[in-house]
Amino acid sequence: MTAPLRLFNSLTRELETFHPVHPGEARVYSCGPTVYNYPHIGNMRAYVFADILGRTLSWKGYKLTHVINITDVGHLTDDADAGEDKLEKAAAAQKQSIWDIRDHYMEAYLADVAALNIRPPAQWSIATEYVPAMIAFAEKIAPEHCYELDSGLYFDVSTVDDYGKLARANTDEGEGRIEAVEGKRHPADFAIWRKTPPGETRQMEWDSPWGKGAPGWHLECSVMSGRLLEFPFDIHTGGIDHREIHHPNEIAQNQAFCHTDGLGDPANSGARIWMHNNFLVERSGKMSKSAGEFLRLQLLIDKGYHPLAYRMMCLQAHYRSELEFSWEGLGAALTRLKRLVMAVETLKARHAELGSASIGPLSAEGWTLKRVQGDEEVMANFRSNIEGVDEALSDDLNTAVALVTLDFILAAKKSPPSAGLKAVAAIDAVLGLNLLSLKRSDLRLRPKDATVSEPEIEDALTRRKAARAEKDFATSDAIRDELAAQGVEVMDGDPLGWEWRL
Ligand code: AMP
Ligand code: ZN
């Protein structure tokens, strides 16, 4: 009785009903970060999107296997075959080993993943751990699909059908590519193995049938996805930039591999559905790690925003729409999250007042659509809402509509609070906003550089309350002015319940 899940497939440019390759299962691969720098919040939008996809699949009852890779070798400063390895360049600039660079930025990425309540996948696959498998893959497809040049082993894109079908750019003309490599047969041909130039030694290099060198970035994802999920698997995700070069190249390799492996269908793309999130942009244009203020999640936290306010900001937009970042927008998302948390607090208070029987630990963990549908109390009160959330998410992951439905549930004053709380838990299992555990006070704006601590503010406000109760307005005003001097604005009677703001 669940709505059919429909997802937009970039390959066919159509909404398609999800039919798993293996009944009851969902296998998903997401292109992960290249760990040469901190991720910006635009990068993190890609993982919030992949998380919503994974949570939706689990919620709808599929047994999910999600893999996200960590790219620690092979990604050049240009998506075509020009430029240097991003990690090698960062290591040289920071005078550290590549492995230290990798560990440091991977840790930073994982911290952002946790702060945004992104569920860890079944497996993080680290590219350098799969190099022998990459060599084996390349050896297999090389005879029919590759040619060797002094600089490496190249994939000949004319050897597969429909090369570049996924991309919007006209790849026949090699648009967007820099033909930096002499001897390439076609501008879109790409290196699957890059040889170390004679006389040089690299920090990261491996022996191969084509000499010492390193794998190409596109090869990595084909190998790890195929190994861990088996071709064909269900869904491959990434940011919209990957639709143009990285994923068409992965698809070409997958086609070559499946063809050579006798899988029968030479057009096998490796994954049935390819999904792409649109960009988070700044007013000035594309988000960048080098220009202007580097928008890391930590910067948002330092400015006082709870990281889940950024998750809320992502969920308010459809993943296929461009989303413009602004501090006002983030503030509005924080306020919206706070309204939800306050409404949940009210529900909890109503529930406690009724002295009702315990409804078990309040957690979103483990709620699936099946479990909600089996809960008579929830269904008696919120059937249409729960169905509404299912329909919204099944409609290409429309989180914005799911959020509105949640508002309706929280506004239903006449329903039993226990049913409301369970409905919130069930919906938060997909949205991942931690609505049952967040407290209003967690969402206060608290910049890192504030000079006054929270207990000090609370203490001053308690003294002020006492003074006002005794009608000692002189003292009350003095305390308010003292706080104002430290940058704290006291907000009496604020409709959203903010007591103060730094
Ligand atoms: P990278 O670490 O550069 O390989 O990027 C990690 C992920 O973030 C990839 O899926 C990219 O497509 C995606 N991405 C990069 N920039 C943005 C952005 N501004 N907004 C959303 N996703 C992005
Ligand atoms: Zn990839």
Check if 239 has its Cβ closer than 6 Å to any atom of ligand 1: yes
Check if 31 has its Cβ closer than 6 Å to any atom of ligand 1: yes
User: Distance from the CA of 42 to the center of ligand 1, in angstroms?
Assistant: 6
User: Distance from the CA of 168 to the center of ligand 2, in angstroms?
Assistant: 18
Question: Which pLDDT band, with edges at 50, 70 and 90, does 257 fall under?
Answer: very high
Question: Which pLDDT band, with edges at 50, 70 and 90, does 180 fall under?
Answer: low
Question: Which pLDDT band, with edges at 50, 70 and 90, does 182 fall under?
Answer: confident
Task: Judge if the upstream peptide bond of residue 232 is cis by omega within 30 degrees of 0.
Answer: yes
Check if 69 has its Cβ closer than 6 Å to any atom of ligand 1: no
Cα separation, 502 vs 500, in Å, equals 7
Average pLDDT over every residue of 57-72: 96
Question: Which pLDDT band, with edges at 50, 70 and 90, does 495 fall under?
Answer: low
Question: Which pLDDT band, with edges at 50, 70 and 90, does 173 fall under?
Answer: very low
Helices (H) and strands (E) in the chain, counts: 15, 16
Determine which residue's CA is closest to atom 7 belonging to ligand 1.
43
At 144, phi and psi to the nearest 5?
-95, -20
% of the chain beyond a pLDDT of 90: 68
User: Distance from the CA of 190 to the center of ligand 1, in angstroms?
Assistant: 21
Question: Which pLDDT band, with edges at 50, 70 and 90, does 484 fall under?
Answer: confident
Which pLDDT score, from 0 to 100, does residue 135 have? 98
Average pLDDT over every residue of 377-386: 96
Check if 238 has its Cβ closer than 6 Å to any atom of ligand 1: yes
Which pLDDT score, from 0 to 100, does residue 447 have? 73
Which pLDDT score, from 0 to 100, does residue 455 have? 86
Average pLDDT over every residue of 381-409: 97
Question: Which pLDDT band, with edges at 50, 70 and 90, does 264 fall under?
Answer: low
Determine which of 98-107, 147-156, 451-460 has the lowest per-residue pLDDT on average: 451-460
Cα separation, 388 vs 138, in Å, equals 47
User: Distance from the CA of 238 to the center of ligand 1, in angstroms?
Assistant: 7
Kindly identify the ligand whose nearest atom is closest to the C-alpha of 68: 2
Determine which residue's CA is closest to atom 15 belonging to ligand 1.
43
Res. 56: pLDDT tops 90: yes
| Dihedral angle over CA of 7, 12, 14, 15, nearest 10 | -20
Kindly identify the ligand whose nearest atom is closest to the C-alpha of 45: 1
Beta bridge partners of 429: none
Average pLDDT over every residue of 411-420: 94
Determine which of 134-143, 340-349, 361-370, 371-380 has the lowest per-residue pLDDT on average: 361-370
Which pLDDT score, from 0 to 100, does residue 498 have? 64
Cα separation, 229 vs 67, in Å, equals 8
Which pLDDT score, from 0 to 100, does residue 354 have? 84
Determine which residue's CA is closest to atom 8 belonging to ligand 1.
43
Check if 43 has its Cβ closer than 6 Å to any atom of ligand 1: yes
DSSP for residue 54: H
Kindly identify the ligand whose nearest atom is closest to the C-alpha of 282: 1
| Nearest atom of ligand 1 to the alpha carbon of 75 | 4
Neighbours of ion ligand 2 (CB under 5 A): 31, 221
pLDDT per position as a tens digit, 324-350 = 999 999 999 999 999 999 999 999 999
Which pLDDT score, from 0 to 100, does residue 80 have? 59
- How much is the pTM? 0.90
| Nearest atom of ligand 1 to the alpha carbon of 286 | 19
Which pLDDT score, from 0 to 100, does residue 449 have? 75
Mutate to test the pocket of ligand 1, among 43, 116, 243 (most ligand atoms within 8 A of CB): 43
Determine which residue's CA is closest to atom 12 belonging to ligand 1.
239
Mean pLDDT over each residue of the chain, to the nearest integer: 90
Q: Under a CB-based contact definition with an 8 Å cutoff, are residues 71 and 34 in contact?
A: yes
User: Distance from the CA of 276 to the center of ligand 2, in angstroms?
Assistant: 12
Which pLDDT score, from 0 to 100, does residue 421 have? 95
User: Distance from the CA of 345 to the center of ligand 2, in angstroms?
Assistant: 42
Q: Which of residues 491 and 125 earns the better pLDDT score?
A: 125
User: Distance from the CA of 177 to the center of ligand 1, in angstroms?
Assistant: 19
Res. 414: pLDDT tops 60: yes
| Nearest atom of ligand 1 to the alpha carbon of 280 | 20
Q: Are strands 271-277 and 233-239 parallel, antiparallel or unpaired?
A: parallel
pLDDT per position as a tens digit, 156-171 = 999 998 898 888 755 4
Question: Which pLDDT band, with edges at 50, 70 and 90, does 28 fall under?
Answer: very high
User: Distance from the CA of 45 to the center of ligand 1, in angstroms?
Assistant: 8
Cα separation, 87 vs 147, in Å, equals 27
Which pLDDT score, from 0 to 100, does residue 171 have? 47
Question: Which pLDDT band, with edges at 50, 70 and 90, does 453 fall under?
Answer: confident
Average pLDDT over every residue of 80-102: 82
Which pLDDT score, from 0 to 100, does residue 175 have? 45
Average pLDDT over every residue of 195-211: 91
Three-class DSSP category at 214: strand
Check if 42 has its Cβ closer than 6 Å to any atom of ligand 1: yes
Using CB atoms within 10 A of its CB, is residue 194 exposed (0-12), middle (13-18) or buried (19+)?
A: buried
Which pLDDT score, from 0 to 100, does residue 22 have? 97
Alpha carbons within 13 angstroms on the beta-carbon side of residue 268 total: 21
Cα separation, 205 vs 194, in Å, equals 10
Check if 236 has its Cβ closer than 6 Å to any atom of ligand 1: no
User: Distance from the CA of 43 to the center of ligand 1, in angstroms?
Assistant: 4
Q: Which of residues 244 and 172 earns the better pLDDT score?
A: 244
* Tokens linked to 423: 């409905």
Check if 127 has its Cβ closer than 6 Å to any atom of ligand 1: no
User: Distance from the CA of 125 to the center of ligand 2, in angstroms?
Assistant: 11
Check if 74 has its Cβ closer than 6 Å to any atom of ligand 1: no
| Nearest atom of ligand 1 to the alpha carbon of 45 | 21
Beta strands in 21-145 (DSSP E): 25-30, 63-70, 123-126
Which pLDDT score, from 0 to 100, does residue 295 have? 93
User: Distance from the CA of 82 to the center of ligand 1, in angstroms?
Assistant: 19
Q: Under a CB-based contact definition with an 8 Å cutoff, are residues 25 and 62 in contact?
A: yes
| Nearest atom of ligand 1 to the alpha carbon of 278 | 21
Residue 196: which of 292, 100, 73 has the closest Cα? 73
Average pLDDT over every residue of 475-481: 84
Kindly identify the ligand whose nearest atom is closest to the C-alpha of 35: 1
Question: Which pLDDT band, with edges at 50, 70 and 90, does 176 fall under?
Answer: very low
